[in-house]
Structure 1
Amino acid sequence: MRLRMRCLVLAMAAALAPSAAVYADDEPVEGDLKAFQGTWNPASDGGEDRTYVFEGNTLKIQASSRSYTMEITLDPTAKPEKTVDFRIIKGPDDARGKTSRGIYKLDPDGSLVLCFRPRGERPTKFEQVGFEQFLTVLKRKAETDEAALDAPLPEGWPGVTRPGEIEVKHYPAYRCAVNRAKEARMGGMGGLFWPLFLHITQKKIAMTAPVVMNYEPRMAADAEAVGDVSMEFLYRRPDQGESGQGFGPVEVEDRPATTVVSLGLQGRTGEARFRESIPRLRAWLDEHKAEWTEAGPPRMLGYHAR
């Protein structure tokens, strides 16, 4: 017998707080820097749980004993190896303001390989040399194995946040089919599903996960509130199909890349759990207000896992 597990991610758009921003709003994130974006873990953690989060040209390393925020500078044209510099802007007093020089490469298997020296000359080879030169191989964080989901994720989409955990995630730009309802209750979205399903069937668009549900902000606070709601089916690729009018009431729209703080949930779903979970996200944002600020209303992402 195959069991199906309902997984939810409650996500709230977040932006770097003005005091923490280290790159201009109009500076494009492209090329190799774009490939860095998102959450990574070491392929071998050496017994310590570490997370690397790239947002723009900022890197935040979270470890059990210390955390760092760095400004990174890439030179993808350097020879014989591409170079990266890490300038520590937040961290322990003995590290703040220092710059480590390194080299990097993006392996065909999707790994990000970093080699750097905390002091001295830049490395010339990808190798570990005692405690003078460090080699780190990073893999994109996969909270839930995509193979365990009933439907594939869109290309570049991060996995499901582990139940009970809160983390910052970077969602790439995507294309989606959208169905909307006005003056609806949060629990009355069942009618939005079937027009979306008929749309992707007619257009021969494969189903993906998650299904995204959006609500007006006041609906998250008031159980009696009604307002505008929408449901999204995500396309596998942002260049798949065409934007514009879809089947019946469905419209196909493009969404920009977004950074969110997300909370993983499992099991019981519904509007009551949605509302009771939002204070956890806001409490996390309050604890990290020097770095992050709320930038949009909460939304719910639904997955089915085997």
Structure 2
Amino acid sequence: MSAALPVGFPQPTEMGEIEVKQYPDYRAVTYTHTGEAQQATGVAFNPLFQHISSNQIAMTTPVEARYLESSPAQSDSPNTVEVSFLYPNPDINPQQIDAGVKVTDYPAMTVVSAGIQGAYTWESYQINLRRLHDWLAENPQYQVAGSPRRLLYNSPMTPESMKRSEVQIPIQKPIS
């Protein structure tokens, strides 16, 4: 990984594994992209980088992409993706916030996560999202508790074959 994880974040899920993980509360700067979901992280990079640079906030890993529409695989229809740079800790308060981004506090969550090594392709995202839905079908003690997200751990300069990422779905146990 090219930067530190936010305080309290677990290590990335190992390649090919599926696991249940706990995440603490965290703060992030978020850019909302509407359009082709595959382009969201590229479009969001400059406004997010400008925010952390102008506020002297250290870069962390991962970059988070939350896919808010129910079917982000349909690239011919607009989709909403929230792309975030995560703050090193939730106590950081930026001095300035540009109009194109927002600072968001996320609550602690439980997720089911698929670990991936390789290029950050849309096909990889879709394959691993299907793997997680299959896992959920086999584990009815959990139910979906939010939109899927992708965590991207490496810089654009990392060779494609060495990049690490995760696809995650927030989950919860049903209330009896």
Note the C-alpha offset of 1:242. Answer: 4.6
Give aligned pairs, total. 155
Instruction: Return the letter of the residue paired with 2:145.
Output: A
Q: Which residue of 2 aligns with 1:252?
A: 103
Q: Does residue 1:284 correspond to 2:108, yes or no?
A: no
Structure 1: gaps of 5 or more residues = 1-148
Q: 1:249 to 1:224 in 2, by over 3 A?
A: same
Q: Does residue 1:269 correspond to 2:126, yes or no?
A: no
Q: Aligned-residue CA RMSD in angstroms?
A: 1.8
Note the C-alpha offset of 1:219. Answer: 3.3
Match of 2:28 among 155, 176, 192: 176
Sequence identity percentage: 39
Instruction: Return the letter of the residue paired with 2:98.
Output: F
Tell me the distance in 1 between the aligned counterparts of 2:117 and 2:39.
Answer: 21
Tell me the distance in 2 between the aligned counterparts of 1:284 and 1:226.
Answer: 28
Q: Which residue of 1 aligns with 2:61?
A: 209
Q: Which residue of 2 aligns with 1:226?
A: 78
Residue pair 2:69, 2:79 contacting (<8 A) in 1 also: no
Note the C-alpha offset of 1:215. Answer: 1.5
Tell me the distance in 1 between the aligned counterparts of 2:112 and 2:12.
Answer: 12
Note the C-alpha offset of 1:268. Answer: 2.1
Note the C-alpha offset of 1:217. Answer: 3.3
Match of 1:191 among 33, 43, 47: 43
Note the C-alpha offset of 1:221. Answer: 4.0
Larger radius of gyration: 1
Q: Which residue of 2 aligns with 1:302?
A: 152
Tell me the distance in 1 between the aligned counterparts of 2:136 and 2:63.
Answer: 25
Moved over 3 A (4+): none
Residue pair 1:218, 1:225 contacting (<8 A) in 2 also: no
Note the C-alpha offset of 1:200. Answer: 0.3
Q: Does residue 1:293 correspond to 2:143, yes or no?
A: yes
Q: Which has the higher helix share?
A: 2
Larger deviation: 227-236 or 205-214?
A: 227-236
Residue pair 2:65, 2:81 contacting (<8 A) in 1 also: yes
Note the C-alpha offset of 1:218. Answer: 2.9
Q: Which has the higher strand share?
A: 1
- What TM-score results when the alignment is normalised by the length of structure 1? 0.48
Tell me the distance in 2 between the aligned counterparts of 1:230 and 1:209.
Answer: 16
Structure 2: gaps of 5 or more residues = 163-176
Tell me the distance in 2 between the aligned counterparts of 1:257 and 1:157.
Answer: 10
Residue pair 1:213, 1:300 contacting (<8 A) in 2 also: yes
Note the C-alpha offset of 1:227. Answer: 1.6
Note the C-alpha offset of 1:297. Answer: 1.8
Tell me the distance in 1 between the aligned counterparts of 2:138 and 2:73.
Answer: 21
Residue pair 1:219, 1:225 contacting (<8 A) in 2 also: no
Tell me the distance in 1 between the aligned counterparts of 2:103 and 2:129.
Answer: 29
Tell me the distance in 2 between the aligned counterparts of 1:164 and 1:217.
Answer: 26
Tell me the distance in 2 between the aligned counterparts of 1:200 and 1:259.
Answer: 27
Q: Which residue of 2 aligns with 1:106?
A: none
Residue pair 1:216, 1:229 contacting (<8 A) in 2 also: yes
